[in-house]
Homo-oligomer: A and B are copies of this chain.
């Protein structure tokens, strides 16, 4: 693995654990076993590190989403697959998802992180389209506010990064199964 990639992985873990602003370049350098000044041989700034972490993660995530959206699956299957992909991302890219969840509000205030707002808009379009297609196909309830359902699904899926631990009792597939069951059928006894 290239040194650059290795350093980004170390930084991502620290950003995820302590938050972007609470992580100093000295923290990152310490964890990497070098001095803080040496980091600047690899990266322009602390901000450019987190930018690279987020853009490369989001690029891969949306590539996976696009594959599902371009398929000829029915609306409900697409929605399920996109939910499962998201829990898989939490499992395999926990740090990146945590940074996205915890720090994108702060980072979004800087011009260079404008891509975060663009990706958010893309995400919103994806989910609301899926919900509307599901309603049109007659598989989802018609009496619910689509915007609210979108926020409900989005938040429910991503916020799991706060407590999900890879290698724990529940696999990401277990979590996705139960979340989809609650989302689709509710918790009331039929």
Contact = CB atoms under 8 A, between A and B. Distances in A.
Interface of A: 18-19, 21-22, 102, 105-106, 131, 138-142, 144-145, 148-149, 151-152, 155-156, 159-160, 162-163, 170, 175, 178-179, 181-190
A152 to B, nearest CB: 6
Contact of A22 (B106, B139, B140, B184): B106
B162 A106 contact: no
Contact of A187 (B19, B149, B162): B149
A115 B68 CA distance: 45
A14 to B, nearest CB: 13
A130 B12 CA distance: 38
A132 to B, nearest CB: 12
Contact of A178 (B145, B163, B185, B190): B145
Contact of A189 (B139, B145, B182): B139
Given A156-B156, A160-B155, A138 B182 contact: no
A19 B108 CA distance: 13
Contacts of A138: 189
27 contacts: A19-B19, A19-B106, A21-B22, A131-B187, A139-B189, A140-B187, A140-B189, A141-B187, A141-B188, A141-B190, A144-B178, A144-B181, A144-B182, A144-B187, A145-B170, A148-B179, A149-B187, A151-B163, A155-B155, A155-B159, A155-B162, A182-B183, A183-B186, A183-B187, A184-B187, A184-B188, A185-B188
A103 B106 CA distance: 13
Nearest to A139: B189
A156 to B, nearest CB: 5
A30 to B, nearest CB: 17
